[in-house]
Amino acid sequence: MKTELLTATDQGLARAAEILRGQGLVAFATETVYGLGGDARSDLAVARIFDAKARPRFNPLIVHVPDLATAERFAHFDARARQVAAAFWPGPITLVLPLLHEAGLSPLVTADLDTVAIRIPAHPAAVALLRAFGGPLAAPSANPSGRVSPTRAAHVMDALSGRIDAVLDGGNCAVGVESTILGLAETPVLLRQGGVPQEALEALLGPLSIGGNSDKPNAPGQLLSHYAPRAGLRLNATIATATEVLIGFGPQSAGQAALNLSPKGDLVEAAAALFHVLRVADEMAGADKSIAVAPIPELGLGRAINDRLRRAAAPRS
């Protein structure tokens, strides 16, 4: 198939909605990363998402909706869930809540769990697409499973052109790391570090317990490797060896590193740059070099950056 590159004009949105209604796949920009969207009520569309990504089937997907009223058709919100939603939606946080089984989501989306992961994105093109389509969109990050997530339309085209129907170009993603995932089905648990920092959540909810590997809610501890470039990766590097490409952070890397996530040491800027810089470093490394990354402070968005870097550096299976 030929992948159409669409823009978020009335015409582009109408075409994207038409593809989605025909159970096709449209990758679209959100403020975190590009998602690979399909109708969350259609087994066929959801199966196509797994196939295009070559993704393990037991890994459930996030359901994207345009507003809280729509979210409440698919998940049960208690007072605490409403409080978190009011504070952070629309925005880069996903809530795992009790599933309303009668709401008609494909069981492939939830991997037959009794919970559903749901999010209201803030990116205007994502919201416009959800409204034009008029239904819930299942959307994992629009990259082949295990690889670096896309933050530009060109990243999606590079990896998935020919495998999906369209890409809706919404520019470069402003946040740059995936949404924070907060489990609220029982006691609050932070399942994935992401675009809403742990500190901001804890200011609202008090100290949070940290969950295991949310990439495998059914099979804890497997497949730590994720977000991986082709080249190997070494963390907390201050200088590179002759066979490494160094990704720096902050003014202390000036003059040391060819690439820098944020020359002024800003974690928000570094998160927005992360996945693109990993791709550039991977190209520079080629077949015979590996990548080294400078230390990133473990606070705010640095927590999500370090989480993705640790997985990128994990042993490959």
Give the footprint of ligand TXA on this chain (CB under 6 A): 30, 32-33, 35, 59-62, 94, 96, 110, 113, 115-117, 119, 139-141, 178-179, 181, 191, 214-215, 217
Which lies closer to ligand TXA via its Cβ, residue 119 or residue 289?
A: 119
| Calpha distance 36→153 (Å, rounded) | 11
| Non-local CB neighbours of 296 within 8 Å, separated by 6+ positions | 249, 261, 267, 270, 302, 305, 306, 309
Which lies closer to Mg ion via its Cβ, residue 177 or residue 285?
A: 177
* Least Cβ distance, residue 15 to ligand TXA (angstroms): 20
| Calpha distance 3→181 (Å, rounded) | 30
* Least Cβ distance, residue 137 to Mg ion (angstroms): 15
| Calpha distance 77→100 (Å, rounded) | 10
**Residue 198 binds which entry of Mg ion, ligand TXA, none, CB below 5-8 Å type-dependent:** none
* Least Cβ distance, residue 118 to Mg ion (angstroms): 16
* Least Cβ distance, residue 315 to Mg ion (angstroms): 19
Which lies closer to Mg ion via its Cβ, residue 71 or residue 142?
A: 142
| Calpha distance 218→211 (Å, rounded) | 13
**Residue 96 binds which entry of ligand TXA, Mg ion, none, CB below 5-8 Å type-dependent:** ligand TXA
Residue number closest to Mg ion, CB atom: 141
* Least Cβ distance, residue 262 to ligand TXA (angstroms): 20
The full DSSP string for 191-238 is EE--SS-HHHHHHHH-S-EEPS-TT-TTSTT-----SB-SS-EE-S-S
Number of residues that bind Mg ion (CB under 5 A): 1
Which lies closer to ligand TXA via its Cβ, residue 61 or residue 166?
A: 61
**Residue 165 binds which entry of Mg ion, ligand TXA, none, CB below 5-8 Å type-dependent:** none
**Residue 117 binds which entry of Mg ion, ligand TXA, none, CB below 5-8 Å type-dependent:** ligand TXA
- Token readout for 199 is 């500190």
Q: Token pair 């015979």 is at which residue?
A: 288
* Least Cβ distance, residue 172 to ligand TXA (angstroms): 15
The full DSSP string for 235-278 is -S-SS--TTEEEEE-SGGGTTT-SEES-TT--HHHHHHHHHHHH
Q: Which amino acid is at 119?
A: R
Which lies closer to ligand TXA via its Cβ, residue 117 or residue 127?
A: 117
Which lies closer to ligand TXA via its Cβ, residue 173 or residue 313?
A: 173
**Residue 113 binds which entry of ligand TXA, Mg ion, none, CB below 5-8 Å type-dependent:** ligand TXA
186-223 b/e with 16+ CB inside 10 Å = b?
Answer: eebbbbbbbbbbbeebeeebeebeebebbbbbeeeeeb
* Least Cβ distance, residue 126 to ligand TXA (angstroms): 8
Which lies closer to Mg ion via its Cβ, residue 141 or residue 180?
A: 141
Which lies closer to Mg ion via its Cβ, residue 106 or residue 141?
A: 141
In the sheet with 290-293, reading across from the earlier edge strand, the strands are 233-234, 290-293, 244-248, 259-260
* Least Cβ distance, residue 182 to ligand TXA (angstroms): 10
Residues 127-156 that bind Mg ion (CB under 5 A): 141
- Token readout for 93 is 């946080």
- Residues 5 and 114: beta-carbon distance below 8 Å: no
The full DSSP string for 23-38 is T--EEE--SSS-EEEE
End-to-end CA distance of the chain: 31
**Residue 139 binds which entry of Mg ion, ligand TXA, none, CB below 5-8 Å type-dependent:** ligand TXA
Please give the residue ranges that form the binding site for Mg ion (CB under 5 A). Answer: 141
